[in-house]
Amino acid sequence: MSTPSRRPAGALALLAAVAGALVAVVLGFLTFGAQATVAPDGLPVAVTAAPGPLEAAANRIATHGGGQLSWRVTSPEEGRKLLEDKEVYGVLELPSTVVVSGAVNPSGTQIAQQALTGAAQALGGTPKLETLHAASAAARVAPLGLSALAWVGCLAAGAVLLLAGRRMGRDAGVGARFTQIVAAGVLVTGVLAGFLKLWDSSLPLGWDVLGFLFLTATGFAALQTGLLRLLGVRAMAILGPLYLVAPAVAGQVPELLNPAYRAVLWSWTPFRFSAEGLRSLLQGVPGAPDVTTGIWVLTGLLAAGLVLALWPGRSTLQQAEPDAPDRVVQVGVH
């Protein structure tokens, strides 16, 4: 006769194996799948020419590239303005000058530079490269890197507070959650500023950069703390994988991503708003549209997170986990 306890153990082992396979599938789609399917699709670039014979050449160039490039034919002044506003990733100024910007996402800049250089060479010229807001290696890596570090640091702070509350057998309380959000924002901002100085001391670290970093950290901390309060440890299944999505999806420009990844992941991932806004600030373009967009989105995350974290009421932790091992149960004897 079989032992009854062996059947549940076998079923649990099978369930664990299925769960592992599902995790591999999900992470494969979210991370390496996005990188493996990278290809230009309507990448916006511009070709400019002064009035005269070169206008016809500019129009001929704009007919090439298929669906990979989306050409805009304009004047040299307007072309540079489009690049400053990040509406294009590069400009070919006829006869043979390729203009790119260090304030633009480097993944899009690299593809645009290659395409524009090839177009200039096809005309028989020797292309000259001009870079606006030249960026160091640290300046190219820092925006996304600091955003990911802010997410991980604040997530660790929220998880420690949650686990500490569980060990005490009660919710940490509104005051503790608010203190954790503000303190994590301040301390993580200090860490990020320190890394900026360590990586490249020439990068600007004024109040605009520090303020944006603080808004990023507190916005992330508030959202994470709110979800941890609402879902408990289960929130880690959402918040943890988001960190893995950052370099694979938020580090790319949307025109290089498969349309499915562009719509489902890139369109809303919080890292892209913080990374692109910070990139403009570090390169001395505080008025860029993505700075304003980043401020609005991060402020929205902060407000929504504070509502979830500080709204008075019985803790979901107490509702969802009444039988936690560390909880003290009062037993009366009559």
Q: Dump the DSSP string for 16-84.
A: HHHHHHHHHHHHIIIIIHHHHT---SSEEEEEE--SSTHHHHHHHHTT-STTTEEEEEE-HHHHHHHHH
In a domain, 8, yes or no: no
Domain final residue, candidates 77, 108, 132:
132
Instruction: Indicate whether 210 and 308 sit together in one domain.
Output: yes
Boundary of a domain, candidates 106, 132, 158: 132
Q: Do both 189 and 78 map to the same domain?
A: no
Tokens representing 290?
């993505």
Domain contains 296 = yes
pLDDT reported for residue 285? 85
Alpha-carbon distance of 299 to 21, in angstroms, equals: 37
| Closest C-alpha among 68, 137, 122, 67 to residue 92 | 122
- Residue 11, domain member (yes or no): no
Flag whether 37 is in a domain. no
* Closest-CA residue to 119 (of 206, 59, 50, 202): 59
- Please, what is the end-to-end C-alpha distance for the chain in angstroms? 43
Domain contains 47: yes
- Res 316: pLDDT: 43
Contacts of 291 (CB under 8 A, 6+ apart): 212, 277, 280, 281, 285
For residues 111 and 145, membership in a common domain is answered with: no
Whether residues 180 and 106 share a domain: the answer is no
On whether both 228 and 121 belong to a single domain, the answer is no
Last residue of a domain, one of 132, 153, 181: 132
Which distant-in-sequence residues (6+ apart) come within 8 Å of 84 by Cβ? 101, 103, 132, 285, 288
- Does 284 share its domain with 205? yes
Q: What is the pLDDT along the chain (334 residues), one digit of tens a residue?
A: 445 445 577 778 888 888 888 888 877 877 777 778 888 888 999 998 877 777 778 888 888 766 788 898 988 889 899 999 889 999 999 888 899 999 998 888 999 999 898 888 887 778 899 999 888 889 999 999 999 999 999 999 998 888 887 777 677 788 889 999 999 999 999 999 999 999 999 999 999 999 999 999 999 999 999 999 888 888 888 888 888 777 778 888 888 888 888 887 787 888 889 999 999 999 988 888 889 999 999 999 999 999 999 987 654 444 444 444 444 545 444 4
What pLDDT is attached to residue 165? 77
Q: Two tokens at 327?
A: 């909880």
Q: Does one domain contain both 203 and 231?
A: yes
Distances (CA, A) of 114 to 71, 92, 189: 14, 11, 36
Q: Residue 176 class from Cβ within 10 Å (0-12 exposed, 13-18 middle, 19+ buried)?
A: middle
Residue 4 domain-assigned (yes or no): no
For residues 146 and 65, state if they share a domain.
Answer: no
Residues 80 and 188 in one domain: no
Residues 148 and 95 in one domain: no
CATH number at residue 119: 3.40.190
Pair type for strands 128-132 and 97-101: parallel
Give the C-alpha separation, 76 to 93, whole Å: 6
Cβ atoms 165, 268 nearer than 8 A: no
Query: Considering its fold, how many domains does the chain have in total?
Result: 2
Residues 117 and 249 both lie in one domain: no
Are the C-beta atoms of 140 and 280 separated by less than 8 Å? no
pLDDT computed for residue 91 by the predictor? 93
Q: How far apart are alpha carbons 260 and 200 in whole angstroms? A: 36
Tell me the C-alpha to C-alpha distance, in Å, between residue 257 and each of 34, 86, 122.
7, 18, 27
Residue 125 sits in the same domain as residue 143: no
Tokens 């507190």 belong to residue: 218
Sheet holding 69-74, edge to edge: 69-74, 43-48, 91-93, 97-101, 128-132
> Do the domain assignments include residue 328?
no
For residue 302, the enclosing domain spans 137-319
Cis peptide before 95 (omega within 30 of 0): yes
pLDDT, position 7: 56
Q: Is residue 329 part of a domain?
A: no
DSSP H or E stretch at residue 197: helix 174-199
